[in-house]
C-alpha cells in the first residue's frame, strides 16, 4: 500500500512541473503585455505637455492678474453694449522683463458717440479697480477728444485700450482673410496629436526633435497630408534653470555646431517644410547666431516662423533681409488653459484677421485647446480662408 502511494505521489510530482512549465510562459507573456501597455499608456499621458515650455516658466501670479484684466475688460464691453464688429485687436506683442513673459494687447473700441465712450471708460475703470492693488489704470485724453486707457498688472504694461467714436479701422476687403494655425510641442502624446490631425482644419504641425513619439506623429501627419515643421529648441533667457530640451541650439555653440545640430533635428522630421522656434527668447535676439541658422534654412529651401517669445527677436527682420520666407506669430491660443481664456484668444486671432488680413496663431497639444478649437471650426471655416502656414510666409 505504501509503495502504491509513493508511486501515485511520484506521478503527481512529475505532472506538476510539466503543467507548470506549460502555464508559466503563457503567464509571463500576458504579464509582459499588460505591463507594456500600462507603461506606454502612462508614458503617453504623462508626457503630453513638455515640462520645459518657456511660456509657463515665469510665475503664475502675473498671468493670473492679466487673465483677470482680460475678463474684466470683456465684461465691461458686454455691459456697455459693444458688439463684436466694433472691437478691434490692433496689436499683440510679446514682452519680457525681469523673468516675466506676457503679451501686450492693444485694442480699439468703436463707440457710438463721445458720451458712450466716456461711460465705457468709467465702466472699465470701475471693473479694473475692483481687481485690487495689483492692477493700475492710467487714463489719457488725446487732443482730438479720444480716451485711452493704459493698464498695468503688477507694474507691467499689459493693455492699451483706445476708445474712439469718430474713426474706425478699415476692415480688409476680402472677408475670407487668410489664417494659419500651428500646433506646437508635438512629440509627447500621439493620441492628442491624432485629434488635431483629424480636425476639419488644415493645421500645420510643429514637432520637437528627439521626443518619445516624434517619428510616429510625423508618420501619421504625413499620411494625412498635413504640413510639418520642426519645432527647433533654442536657448531661453532663464537658461539653465529652464532647459529647452534635446536638440537645442545654444549661444555657446560655434557656427559649425549650430549647423550640425540643426541638420540632425531636421533629419527627424520627414518632409519638413520649415522651422519655428521653441523657447529662444535669448537666442533669437542674437543677430550673429540667428544669421547662421537662417542662412542654412535658406540653403535647404525651408521657411522660418518666429514664435516671438521676445519682442526683441531679430528673426523675421534678418530672414527677410537675406530673402528667406518668414513670418511672425500673432497670438498664442492657450497660455491659459481655461476654456474661457482659450475662447478669448481665438476671438483675438479672428479679430486681427478681420482687421489686418493674414494672421498666425499658435496652440499646443492640450485637451482644452482641442475641444475649443473644435467648437470654432464651423465659424473659422465659414468666415476665413484657413491655410497651411507656408502660405503666409513671405
Query: Where do the structural domains in the chain lie, given as residue ranges?
Result: 56-164, 178-392
Which run of H or of E encompasses 161?
strand 156-164
Do 56-164 and 178-392 have matching folds? no
- In terms of pLDDT, which residue wins out, 336 or 247? 247
> What is the predicted pLDDT for the residue at 37?
47
- In terms of pLDDT, which residue wins out, 336 or 11? 336
| Distant-in-sequence, close-in-space partners of 254: CB < 8 Å, separation ≥ 6 | none
> What is the predicted pLDDT for the residue at 12?
45
pLDDT reading at 11 higher than 80: no
pLDDT reading at 46 higher than 50: no
Q: Using CA atoms, how far apart are residues 35 and 30, in angstroms rounded to an integer? A: 9
pLDDT reading at 272 higher than 50: yes
CATH annotation of 178-392: 3.20.20.370
> What is the predicted pLDDT for the residue at 258?
98
> What is the predicted pLDDT for the residue at 170?
54
CATH annotation of 56-164: 3.30.460
> What is the predicted pLDDT for the residue at 28?
54
pTM for this model (two decimals): 0.82
pLDDT in tens, 131-171: 999 999 999 998 888 899 999 999 999 999 999 986 555 55
Burial class (CB in 10 A: 0-12, 13-18, 19+), 78: exposed
pLDDT reading at 34 higher than 60: no
Amino acid at each position: 500500500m505504501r509503495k502504491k502511494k509513493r508511486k501515485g505521489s511520484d506521478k503527481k510530482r512529475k505532472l506538476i512541473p510539466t503543467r507548470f512549465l506549460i502555464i508559466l510562459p503563457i503567464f509571463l507573456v500576458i504579464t509582459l503585455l499588460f505591463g507594456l501597455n500600462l507603461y506606454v499608456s502612462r508614458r503617453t499621458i504623462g508626457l503630453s505637455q513638455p515640462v520645459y515650455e518657456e511660456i509657463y516658466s515665469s510665475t503664475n501670479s502675473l498671468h493670473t492678474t492679466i487673465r483677470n484684466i482680460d475678463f474684466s475688460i470683456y465684461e465691461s464691453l458686454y455691459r456697455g453694449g459693444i458688439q463684436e464688429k466694433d472691437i478691434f485687436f490692433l496689436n499683440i506683442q510679446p514682452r519680457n522683463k525681469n523673468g516675466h513673459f506676457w503679451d501686450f494687447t492693444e485694442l480699439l473700441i468703436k463707440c457710438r458717440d463721445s458720451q458712450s465712450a466716456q461711460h465705457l471708460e468709467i465702466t472699465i475703470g470701475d471693473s479694473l479697480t475692483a481687481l485690487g492693488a495689483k492692477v493700475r489704470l492710467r487714463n489719457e485724453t488725446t487732443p482730438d477728444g479720444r480716451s485711452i486707457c493704459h493698464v498695468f498688472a503688477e507694474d507691467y504694461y499689459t493693455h492699451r485700450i483706445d476708445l474712439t467714436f469718430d474713426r474706425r479701422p478699415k476692415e480688409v476687403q476680402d472677408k475670407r482673410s487668410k489664417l494659419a494655425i500651428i500646433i506646437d510641442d508635438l512629440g509627447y502624446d500621439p493620441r492628442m496629436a491624432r485629434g488635431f490631425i483629424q480636425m476639419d482644419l488644415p493645421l500645420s504641425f510643429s514637432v520637437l526633435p528627439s521626443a518619445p513619439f516624434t517619428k510616429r506623429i510625423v508618420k501619421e501627419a504625413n499620411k494625412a497630408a498635413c504640413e510639418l515643421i520642426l519645432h527647433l529648441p533654442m536657448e531661453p533667457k532663464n537658461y539653465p534653470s529652464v532647459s529647452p530640451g534635446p536638440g537645442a541650439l545654444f549661444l555657446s555653440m560655434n557656427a559649425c555646431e549650430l549647423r550640425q545640430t540643426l541638420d540632425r533635428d531636421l533629419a527627424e522630421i520627414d518632409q519638413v517644410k520649415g522651422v519655428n522656434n521653441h523657447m529662444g527668447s535669448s537666442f533669437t535676439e542674437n543677430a550673429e547666431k540667428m544669421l547662421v541658422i537662417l542662412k542654412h534654412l535658406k540653403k535647404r529651401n525651408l521657411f522660418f516662423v518666429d514664435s516671438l517669445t521676445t519682442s526683441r527677436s531679430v528673426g523675421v527682420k534678418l530672414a527677410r533681409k537675406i530673402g528667406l520666407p518668414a513670418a511672425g506669430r500673432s497670438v498664442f491660443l492657450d497660455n491659459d488653459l481655461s476654456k474661457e481664456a482659450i475662447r478669448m484668444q481665438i476671438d483675438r486671432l479672428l479679430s486681427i484677421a478681420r482687421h489686418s488680413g493674414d494672421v498666425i496663431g499658435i496652440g499646443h497639444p492640450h485637451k482644452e485647446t482641442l475641444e475649443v478649437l473644435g467648437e470654432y471650426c464651423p465659424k473659422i471655416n465659414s468666415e476665413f480662408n484657413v491655410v497651411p502656414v507656408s502660405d503666409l510666409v513671405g
